[in-house]
A and B are shown apart, each in its own frame.
Chain A
Amino acid sequence: MFILKYIKEVFSGLKSLAVGLRRTLYYFSHHKEIITQQYPDNRDTLVFPDRFKGEVVMVHDDNNEHACTGCTACELACPNATIKIITKFDITPEGKKKKAIDKFVYHLELCTMCNLCVVACPTDAIKMAQTFEHSVFNRAELTKVLNKPDSKIREGVE
């Protein structure tokens, strides 16, 4: 009886191997089932979802105007001190002093893409961009100023 059981086990074992091997051979012969993408070669066809969190950018319109009032809500919401807002005082046509941003400094190397700053912004001045290749040779390049040169706040944004 022992030998019968032993032979039975050998054959059921061989069968289980054949079943697994059949699956492997199926994929070996069906090239259409392969879904691997060759990354650096497929850059042109890569599509990222709108919500993909790549880096924080400031939205500028055609007139080089943004919506950032310098309220520092994003700076307070950030867990890693990624954002530093340097403000200045503009003189309005009426001769009054008005607070505005001088530099919106963004440290990409500290950012964890948690999206808390974008949610905190009351004027939707910043958003997440879909870029993802952030490697640079010089670390200082990761510290960015998000407001473009000579840009100013859009009319009517308080």
Chain B
Amino acid sequence: MVEEIGSTAAGDIIINVGPQHPATHGVLHLVITINGETIQKVEPHLGYIHRSIEKMCESLTYRQFIYVTSRMDYLSSHINNHACALCVEKGLQIEVPSRAQVIRVLMDELTRIASHELWWGAMAMDLGAFTPFFHAFREREAINDIMEETCGARLTMNYMVPGGVMQDIHPNFQSRVKEFIALFKSKVSEYNELVTGNIIFQNRMKGVGNLSAADAISFGCTGPTARGSGVSCDIRKLYPYEIYDTLNFEEILETGGDSFARYMVRVREMSQSISIIEQLIDNIPEGDFQAKTKAVLKLPKGEFYQRVETARGEFGVYIVSEGGTTPYRIKYRSPGFSNLSALDHMARGSKLGDLVAMMGTLDLVIPDIDR
């Protein structure tokens, strides 16, 4: 640390944000070089919550390794599990029953809404508004109750298994989801009243944290972070998996490239997810919820990759198999890591007070970055 101070220009000050800081939403450590109040450099230090999940997965079988991925991006745990299940199914060439496919997509979209709700509340809290956090949690609680009833857990569900889903949906599932849709639609106008239209919020978001489309691509940003800059990167549209190619929904694109554009992408995505759920909730086909699989899964020798769109961006699972019951190597491509790399570029030249707002719009989940 002494060397770093010695290498800075005259008048620069180095300050540490984190690893224990409420604004970083986890154990992220930012070393910030400032001159006055202007940010010169932001250097994220990672590794505080590294659990070597990739290495752990090498000693787990193809049924067992899925549960660990819930602990990475815990806000979209269903979608992470989905990616792993799809990748194993790709290797085993299992045909998933259509009922399981619909249930999986429904769960994914409910998770996406829950994740964006939490982000919306945390985003407002980063800017100093505390009430929206509770408004967001009220709707998220309804989703958590649905998850608890069908999957048995509220956060780390482990519901997706190779071949389908672990249990059939609860008999109350459809009516509970319909209740949630009605609740969400009646409350979504509050979001715009409380936060989106607020003049203080808009002034702090507009023109802050600019990221051009070219930069978003070169930093490898995906998800709402890149779509806020006008980069089309929705995996559900570009590389459809499950039944996404038969569904009618829009890819949300904003061209602003600033914090407000990224905010609007997420708020509008919630409505798209609601529309997907509405299309499917009355059309869950009858049949099995799980394909018949062997007791011991053995992937053939080779390499398999599956990408999905989580609430944060592109999540990829890369499995190298030697033909045994456990993978030879697993690599996860997590969206948070790439999105975080753009923070330095976005923050340079802006004021220190805006840094928290920029970090909020990146929607960082630290266990997803460190794994």
| Residue positions of A touching B, CB distance < 8 A | 12-14, 16-17, 19-20, 22-24, 35, 48-49, 51-53, 77-79, 112-116, 119, 128
Contact = CB atoms under 8 A, between A and B. Distances in A.
B50 interface: no
A112 B170 CA distance: 22
B149 A51 contact: yes
B167 A23 contact: no
B174 to A, nearest CB: 15
A49 B138 contact: no
Contacts of B141: 35
A52 B146 CA distance: 11
A113 B153 contact: yes
Nearest to A35: B138
B197 to A, nearest CB: 5
Contacts, number: 68
A17 B199 contact: yes
Interface stretch (B61-69, B278-286, B362-370): B61-69
Interface of B: 60, 63-65, 67-68, 131, 138, 141, 148-153, 156, 158, 161, 166-167, 170, 190, 193-195, 197-200, 202
Which of A14, A22, A35, A53 gathers most chain B CB within 10 Å?
Answer: A53
B199 A13 contact: yes
Contact of A51 (B152, B158, B161, B190): B152
Contacts of A128: 152
Contacts of B68: 79
Given A24-B194, A52-B152, 17 more contacts: A13-B199, A16-B198, A16-B199, A19-B197, A23-B194, A35-B138, A48-B148, A51-B151, A51-B152, A51-B167, A52-B148, A77-B63, A79-B65, A79-B68, A112-B156, A115-B152, A115-B158
Contact of A49 (B63, B170, B200): B170
Contacts of A12: 199
A129 to B, nearest CB: 11
B32 to A, nearest CB: 31
Given A35-B138, A51-B170, A79-B64, A19 B149 contact: no
A16 B67 contact: no
Contacts of A35: 138, 141
A20 B158 CA distance: 39
Contact of A115 (B148, B166, B190, B200): B166
B166 A20 contact: no
Ranked 10 nearest A-B pairs via Cβ:
A13-B199, A79-B64, A51-B152, A114-B67, A53-B152, A49-B149, A114-B158, A16-B199, A16-B197, A20-B194
B1 to A, nearest CB: 37
Given A79-B67, A114-B158, A20 B152 contact: no
A115 to B, nearest CB: 6
